[in-house]
Amino acid sequence: MAASDAGQDECLMSYEKLDRASPDLWPEQIPGVSEFAAKSPLSSPQPTWMSELQSEDIGLLQEFGSLTTSQLIDKIRGLQNLAYQLGLDEAREMTRGKFLNILQKPNNKH
> What are the distances in angstroms from CA 51 to CA 54, 59, 60, 65, 75?
8, 14, 15, 19, 26
CB distance 56 to 67 below 8 Å = no
Please list the ranges in the chain whose pLDDT falls under 70: 1-10, 17-46, 108-110
Q: Look up residue 53 and give its DSSP letter.
A: -
- Chain centroid to Cα 59, Å, comes to 9
Sequence ranges of the domains in the chain: 54-104
Q: What is the pLDDT of residue 75?
A: 93
pLDDT confidence of residue 39: 65
Q: What is the pLDDT of residue 53?
A: 83
Chain segment 69-78, per-residue pLDDT in tens = 999 999 999 9
Q: In 48-63, which positions are buried (b, 16+ CB within 10 angstroms) versus exposed (e)? A: eeeeeeeeeeeeeeee
What is residue 52's predicted lDDT score, i.e. its pLDDT?
81
Residue 86 confidence (pLDDT) = 97
Q: How far apart are CA 14 and CA 102, in angstroms?
A: 81
- Per residue in 47-58, pLDDT (tens digit) is 777 778 888 988
